[in-house]
């Protein structure tokens, strides 16, 4: 399926994929800013801005924003990451213009009412508290903080209680006016819509040069440095029933030449119920209910990790098994059967994602905002199917090393297992 890339005269990039066999269209505006681009006194401001774009524009109040799409059976949401913020709608194709009108109105003309910020500030502070109460989220945050120590990737996307408590309406408004500029904006649309319609309406709603409007300062977007990864362990005490653990190493950026080799490695290690971790940790040993591995790419780096939780008396054994299974990947490689299974899982996931306009939109928007390119999915499938057992083992040898290990733990007590011995079987 053809992916169209166009650029409006003001610099906004428009990515379109027509899906004529679906009823829906997913429309999204991506801003090329997130927590990694915040100044020292701006921690969590990208996420705060995401919340406040729903609180009223010059034409609509927060109630009208909330109800407009539901009146036509549509949905709207947003999310913030380290490197971008995305606002999106999903609706029937016939409501595409309504969606783009609403999204662009929020993106360009949000008023950030002080009364609404006074309420939403409390909501975000409770969101921070919620994450602190979720051990699986907290252990992942601790892992990132340790792995990316000293780099913006290690900062919490959501901010801290101290930083969010200090923001005023003027901080939100200034950040939006500077960072939400045409040069850093992508419109990604996928579904039952035509490219020409997308371009015509994009010009109508996003085509003027708002970067030159009064009160919008220029933002020189900085180039993030490659992270200098750190190793080590971190433990946070929580009076809960289980110990939650994340064990991992530095990974790859999402546009690395062998990124899909790492994805195949991940699929074999902990990507499903037939994976090594699921079979060894849960099925054979009964150590946990939930275990998996994960690839988390960024624009300039990434991570590869395993996660599980178990009762305190089983935590030491769990850690040894996680480490041993990771070490086996590097020492002994993978079988042809495992490789074929992982390739087919990945291929099926890629191709079946084309049946959902939201999945297609996410791939289009994220690829463009991070890497300024969107590859055809047939090319990606071919790349996955070309991975060899030798390439998977070489990837494991390259990444899974004792001196690179990061271990984060959250629970009632810390297991007495040395980090340096976890890759010994």
Q: How far apart are CA 141 and CA 98, in angstroms?
A: 37
The rounded distance, in Å, linking the Cα atoms of 236 and 411 is: 7
Residue 409 · residue 139 · CB < 8 Å:
yes
Q: Check if 94 is active-site.
A: no
H-type alpha helices, 180-227: 195-206
For the record, the structure tokens of 184 come out as 């850093």
Q: Note the residue count of the chain.
A: 425
Question: CB burial class (10 A; 0-12, 13-18, 19+) of residue 166?
Answer: middle
Residue whose token pair is 């709603």 = 205
Please choose, from the candidates 348, 367, 255, 373, the residue with its C-alpha nearest in 3D space to the C-alpha of residue 28: 367
Contacts for 276 with CB less than 8 Å, ≥ 6 apart: 268, 269, 270, 325, 328, 329, 338
* Catalytic entry in 42, 50, 325, 338: 50
d(CA 224, CA 301): 10
How crowded is the C-beta side of 242, counted as CA atoms within 13 Å?
15
Helix (H) or strand (E) holding 379: helix 377-385
Say what angle helices 259-270 and 315-332 make with each other, to 10 degrees: 130
Q: What is the DSSP letter of 26?
A: E
* Main-chain dihedrals φ then ψ at residue 6, nearest 5 degrees: -130, 160
- Annotated catalytic residues are 50
């Amino acid at each position: 399926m053809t992916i169209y890339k166009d650029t409006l005269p003001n610099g906004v990039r428009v990515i379109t994929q027509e899906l004529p066999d679906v009823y829906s269209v997913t429309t999204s505006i991506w801003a090329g800013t997130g927590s990694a681009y915040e100044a020292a006194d701006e921690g969590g401001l990208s996420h705060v801005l995401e919340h406040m774009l729903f609180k009223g524009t010059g034409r609509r109040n927060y109630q009208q924003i909330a109800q407009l799409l539901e009146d036509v059976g549509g949905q709207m949401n947003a999310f913030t990451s380290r490197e971008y913020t995305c606002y999106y709608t999903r609706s029937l194709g016939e409501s595409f213009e309504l969606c783009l009108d609403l999204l662009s109105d929020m993106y360009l003309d949000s008023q950030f009412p002080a009364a609404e910020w006074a309420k939403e500030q409390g909501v975000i502070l409770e969101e921070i508290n919620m994450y602190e109460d979720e051990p699986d989220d907290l252990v992942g945050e601790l892992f990132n903080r340790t792995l990316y120590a000293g780099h913006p990737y290690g900062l919490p996307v959501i901010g801290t209680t101290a930083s969010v408590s200090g923001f005023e309406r003027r901080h939100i408004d200034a950040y939006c006016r500077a960072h939400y500029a045409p040069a850093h904006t992508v419109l990604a649309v996928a579904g039952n819509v035509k490219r020409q319609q997308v371009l015509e309406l994009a010009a109508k709603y996003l085509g003027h040069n708002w970067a030159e409007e009064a009160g919008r300062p220029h933002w020189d977007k900085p180039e993030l440095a490659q992270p200098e990864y750190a190793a080590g362990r971190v433990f946070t005490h929580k009076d809960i029933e289980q110990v939650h653990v994340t064990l991992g190493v530095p990974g790859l950026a999402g546009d690395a030449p062998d990124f899909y080799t790492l994805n195949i490695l991940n699929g074999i290690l902990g990507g499903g119920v037939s994976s090594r971790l699921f079979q060894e940790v849960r099925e054979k040993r009964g150590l946990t209910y939930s275990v998996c591995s994960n690839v988390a790419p960024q624009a300039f780096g990434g991570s590869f990790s395993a996660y599980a939780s178990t009762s305190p008396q089983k935590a030491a054994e769990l850690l040894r098994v996680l480490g041993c299974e990771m070490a086996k990947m590097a020492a002994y490689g993978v079988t042809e059967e495992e490789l074929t299974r992982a390739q087919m899982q990945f291929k099926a996931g890629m191709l079946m994602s084309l049946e959902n306009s939201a999945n297609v939109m996410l791939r289009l928007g994220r690829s463009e905002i991070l890497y300024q390119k969107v590859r055809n999915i047939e090319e990606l499938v071919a790349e996955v199917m070309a991975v060899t057992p030798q390439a998977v083992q070489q990837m494991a040898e390259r990444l899974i090393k004792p001196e690179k290990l990061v271990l984060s733990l959250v629970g009632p007590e810390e297991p007495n297992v040395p980090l340096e011995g976890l890759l010994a079987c």
